[in-house]
Structure 1
């Protein structure tokens, strides 16, 4: 097999859902030993195309060849058996099973009817070591942080003898060291002749790891690019149909005055000890830090979502938040990192999800017409792409689901402090711009914003001030208007300001 022989060819792929055409004659060609990036805005059709490849969906039209042979998997199990392994952005792990059980589910070594647990643990450990994971194979997956679950999903793909490995936003929850380990894994896989389809919205990752890229827009393939001779701006222009900077630095003057939120101390033994953190009305304060630095723990503590000692004041008065309900009554709103588990009711419509906070009733009792009327402005401002307000939110792309979570709080109103935990995880460049425009609009109305993100360039572009967390403590703060990004990055990694 030569370097130019096709490992995978998808031709004329069409997929229709009620009220929409998700894919309209898509073409995709992937070579052996290649990292082929699949790019496009949220809703462009990337995930649908990969679900067809995996066997989760059946195409309405089109053909697939795998190493020159017809390929038409009826189920994901059939796809895996044929050599297609998919690591989805929304992980398909079983939370109640151990890491080892997840990695070798259905493929564990056996002696007669009995699982050889020692051999299974050895194989699982080898797969985890390959992706740089240090947590035990006996850990229950549901107890692991999201970054560790992501590494588990990648390791699971390595235990299968896959010819094509699809990675859908693999770096969305990973820290820098974890991402470097994943890139080494990708390079070793392609060196063995395996093909990797890499989906990411981070242009720096695409340019570093990719060989070629296919760009999807509105359910169609609009171009194939050799990444050695293509710049990020050209790729972005192909994705959105126009050139231009999507997330620029704020030109608002830095807010002044007394703090709206003052955190004297937020403490969780062994995890968090943040002191003297202020946020003024209209101020966007970014929380930077490596994975495990305490950003999520801090936001959950302020929102009353975990047991913590929180000494804080809101507008000069003591803030007593004993539960999320108490936080909402006080004017706090949280957009959580895990939207599917904590932010949405996937079996209900877009409008019911976005209206539930505003109407204060169980979502199944919400009047449809009232919900649509209340939520329409926020959904439109955020650019939510759906076939209509009645579409199930679980059918939306991940980025559009995240927009619905924010729309829920905007529709409710009365927000005084907005807590954002990785709000752009899985969002394309255009969707990120929509979200940050809305965040700035809320800040312009006097809302205090705490923005936790692993995307330092987004923090420097959108935050008025950046607080660096390291091992649970806030160790430095910067004005991104005057501090170079490399100085902030140095502090994020080392925990010490130069």
Structure 2
């Protein structure tokens, strides 16, 4: 395992307002399982998208088997032997498993697809990953674990030299994961290279040969997995220089909780217990991707089927639908503002006023909408050419302000649920948004804030709950707890 398969040198990638990668180095050997580690936002996904051809680097070079490599598209990357299994699966839900596995590469006789041959090849690929479901099944009809196995099998049908697996275990059971590990071992025995991305250090120890750790868009170190302890890896991920962050000049809110969550249970996803939020308090939800933060907020908002035992204002509370949650005084700023929080084809004014009136947006009078929304938009400092501008034309930060303005315009907010509210925002926009959140808290609103940016939680939350694999495992006061201790619990699931 000494032959160099892949070398990425000095990789730089900039996005508006941020440097995602700053001179990253990654070297992968032939026949190696190379683990790529780092906290959320460290740059792992961006680096792999550059390798796959989805992004072009601003600086840096890539060598694949010693030859310069610069894929311009994902298709070019795949043709060169780079197969990526993304955490957000790139399968076509309305096609069958067999059609997905051999999309664009189906065996043919003239212009006709040889369906029996395609089904046979698909069956071989599924058998290799231990999947037993029929290849004729539509992908949308499969459970998420089966979809994950389909994505892995799809990568195996390509003649890939490098296979990237991004959190492949997030939805898999123990037996399914062991089958995947068997596939990984057989791939490396054939001389292929596997880049394995995971937050679960027990998996890294079980399958990895070497590991590269990214921190804040830079390479923090390269480690031999067998001779490195989990604590050493965690220290590299979170950094030794992180200082204690204290919420400046803010007394801890007191009084009876406004929202008490006794239990939220979604079988197979989350089982969260005993979280409460007082009026004026910001409670942070920390955790890795897949820890259950989004599921918890959606369940409280009535946006998915869940067993919820909670109290609001001292009374039993369970929202059977988002509309019922809104009537009760809950407001949700979702993770995907473009897909779930806004109607991009409508104006700023109509988006900001839509929650204030229970009617379809196309029936909302323009003048009334502008009058209702004006105070909130002005108070939040939304920058636009006017309320008639399409909200899809605004910057990300201003779009997020419009989502918040929607709930302020409606009024009556008791509990504000925020899911990754600063994703994609620059530093200034983040500061503006958190000022607005603190203003709402100052008016007695209880805030549940889910974020993968731990430094933002320690700076803005009064208390922090850590979620790990669907359960809340620890509680911290950021006034007295070092950020490194919270990060350790987030990554390892170990309670203090």
| TM-score, normalised by the number of residues in structure 1 | 0.60
**Whole-angstrom distance in 2 between the partners of 1:201 and 1:348:** 39
Instruction: Give the drift of 1:142.
Output: 3.1
Instruction: Give the drift of 1:164.
Output: 0.6
Q: Does 1:225 align with 2:189?
A: no
CA RMSD between the two structures: 6.5
- Alignment-derived partner of residue 152 in structure 2: 154
Contact map agreement 1:335 1:419 (CA 8 A) in 2:
yes
Instruction: Give the drift of 1:113.
Output: 3.4
Contact map agreement 1:305 1:323 (CA 8 A) in 2:
yes
- Alignment-derived partner of residue 81 in structure 1: 79
Contact map agreement 2:257 2:313 (CA 8 A) in 1:
yes
Q: Does 1:213 align with 2:215?
A: no
Contact map agreement 2:95 2:138 (CA 8 A) in 1:
yes
Gap runs ≥5 in structure 1: 249-253, 378-388, 394-399, 428-433, 454-461, 482-491, 493-498
Moved more, 135-144 or 158-167: 135-144
Contact map agreement 2:215 2:238 (CA 8 A) in 1:
no
The one of 3, 27, 30 equivalent to 2:28 is 30
- SS in structure 2 at match of 1:30: strand
The one of 303, 327, 339 equivalent to 2:301 is 303
Instruction: Give the drift of 1:141.
Output: 2.7
Moved more, 323-332 or 442-451: 442-451
- Alignment-derived partner of residue 236 in structure 1: 238
- Alignment-derived partner of residue 115 in structure 1: 115
Moved more, 68-77 or 8-17: 8-17
- Alignment-derived partner of residue 166 in structure 2: 168
**Whole-angstrom distance in 1 between the partners of 2:466 and 2:9:** 47
Q: 1:323 to 1:72 in 2, by over 3 A?
A: same
- Spell out the pairing of 1:446-465 with structure 2 (5 A cutoff): none
Contact map agreement 2:129 2:179 (CA 8 A) in 1:
no
How far does the alpha carbon of each residue in 1:421-461 deviate from its partner, in whole angstroms, 9 at most, with x for none?
A: 8x79x99xxxxxx9xx99x98999976688999xxxxxxxx
**Whole-angstrom distance in 2 between the partners of 1:191 and 1:83:** 17
**Whole-angstrom distance in 1 between the partners of 2:375 and 2:143:** 38
Contact map agreement 1:150 1:170 (CA 8 A) in 2:
yes
Contact map agreement 1:108 1:120 (CA 8 A) in 2:
no
Contact map agreement 2:33 2:193 (CA 8 A) in 1:
yes
- Spell out the pairing of 1:303-322 with structure 2 (5 A cutoff): 303-305=301-303, 314-316=312-314, 321=319
The one of 98, 101, 105 equivalent to 1:100 is 98
Q: 1:465 to 1:163 in 2, by over 3 A?
A: closer
Q: 1:197 to 1:347 in 2, by over 3 A?
A: farther
Q: Does 1:126 align with 2:127?
A: yes
**Whole-angstrom distance in 2 between the partners of 1:255 and 1:52:** 45
Contact map agreement 2:283 2:449 (CA 8 A) in 1:
yes
- Alignment-derived partner of residue 458 in structure 1: none
- Alignment-derived partner of residue 496 in structure 1: none
Instruction: Give the drift of 1:110.
Output: 4.0
Gap runs ≥5 in structure 2: 247-251, 383-391, 425-430, 452-461, 477-492
Q: 1:90 to 1:7 in 2, by over 3 A?
A: same
Instruction: Please say which structure displays the higher CA radius of gyration.
Output: 2
Contact map agreement 2:83 2:164 (CA 8 A) in 1:
yes
**Whole-angstrom distance in 1 between the partners of 2:142 and 2:401:** 26
**Whole-angstrom distance in 1 between the partners of 2:449 and 2:18:** 34
Contact map agreement 2:125 2:156 (CA 8 A) in 1:
no
**Whole-angstrom distance in 2 between the partners of 1:348 and 1:27:** 44
How far does the alpha carbon of each residue in 1:80-108 deviate from its partner, in whole angstroms, 9 at most, with x for none?
A: 12210012233222122233322222223
Q: 1:137 to 1:417 in 2, by over 3 A?
A: farther
Length, aligned pairs only: 444
- Alignment-derived partner of residue 184 in structure 2: 186
Contact map agreement 1:357 1:409 (CA 8 A) in 2:
no
Q: 1:376 to 1:152 in 2, by over 3 A?
A: farther
